[in-house]
Amino acid sequence: MARITAGVGCSHVPAIGVAMDTGITDQPYWKPVFDGFVKSREWMKENQPDVIFLVYNDHCTAFDASCIPTFALGCAAEFAPADEGWGPRPVPVVKGHQKLASHIAQSVILDEFDLTIMNEMEVDHGLTVPLSVMFGETGVDDAWPCPVIPLAVNVVQYPAPTGNRCYNLGKAIRRAIDSYPEDLNVMIFGTGGMSHQLQAERAGLINAEWDRRFLDMMANDPEAARRIEHVEYLRETGSEGIEMVMWLVMRGALDEKVTEVHRHYHVPASNTAVGHIILENHS
Ligand code: DHB
Ligand code: FE
């Protein structure tokens, strides 16, 4: 049977992708950011997923204001990196896993979570930057080491789903993957965050103390994390801190008790704090 072996929480700051694409990761500003992912890349090589289920948000790239799905599951054969204004990132096209994605769509929708099925979708920095930081430099003519199933969550236009809804969706995704007959090592990524606000009076807000508490909760107290309300994310972590509800999908798909393998927290990267955690399942 397929099984979820681990969860990865990871910021998706677009400037991290630019730093990799332009070869400046050794510069003093960026080195501490990337040093924190050395162990993660080794761990990825040792644990080689067959498929990654990647929870991220689209930043008005694949979707615009005409259509805003709350949860959109990527069921296509492949997903091209989007042009976000400066041309697409020079990274490989992302290959999907259509059989597993269709199985997840059927299982989760019949489990009463109404997903939007995407048979065509471009993917932005929200998806490609976490792949880059976890796998290292991957040229446009290379291939990503494994297929990826994207799940795009609306955190761009009010109302985003609650953290609790995301956590329960993670549990439904776990049930779906657990019931897939092929032996597959599946990892789940929750991306976005940490605290950041990109606009208006509080632009530049970072709340390191709150972020570190959130990482603690991801490791040891998911029941507390699922109860964090929108207003707390907004007040304590800025308007874009709401991206952290996507980590709850990842956490809901794991065992209640997990092993923390690695953690990294650094301020700043662009306008945000970089947060990262690797959690292994026991079952
Ligand atoms: C930044 C961070 C994000 O998560 C994002 O989607 C866009 C920009 C930033 O810090 O610049
Ligand atoms: Fe973002």
**CATH number of the domain encompassing residue 64:** 3.40.830.10
Return d(Cα 282, Cα 261) in angstroms, integer: 12
Neighbours of 19 (CB within 10 A): 23
196 is catalytic: yes
Can the peptide bond before residue 159 be classed as cis, meaning omega within 30 degrees of 0? yes
230 is catalytic: no
Checking DSSP bridges between strand 272-280 and strand 148-153, what pairing results, if any?
unpaired
Distance 185 CA to ligand 2 centre (A): 27
Closest ligand (CA of 205) = 1
Q: Can you tell me which atom of ligand 1 is nearest the CA of 271?
A: 10
Domain count for the chain, please give it: 1
Containing domain of residue 251, as a range?
3-281
Determine if ligand 1 sits within 6 Å of the CB of residue 12.
yes
Q: Can you tell me which atom of ligand 1 is nearest the CA of 59?
A: 6
pTM above 0.95, yes or no: yes
In order along its 283 residues, the chain shows pLDDT tens digits of 999 999 999 999 999 999 999 999 999 999 999 999 999 999 999 999 999 999 999 999 999 999 999 999 999 999 999 999 999 999 999 999 999 999 999 999 999 999 999 999 999 999 999 999 999 999 999 999 999 999 999 999 999 999 999 999 999 999 999 999 999 999 999 999 999 999 999 999 999 999 999 999 999 999 999 999 999 999 999 999 999 999 999 999 999 999 999 999 999 999 999 999 999 998 7
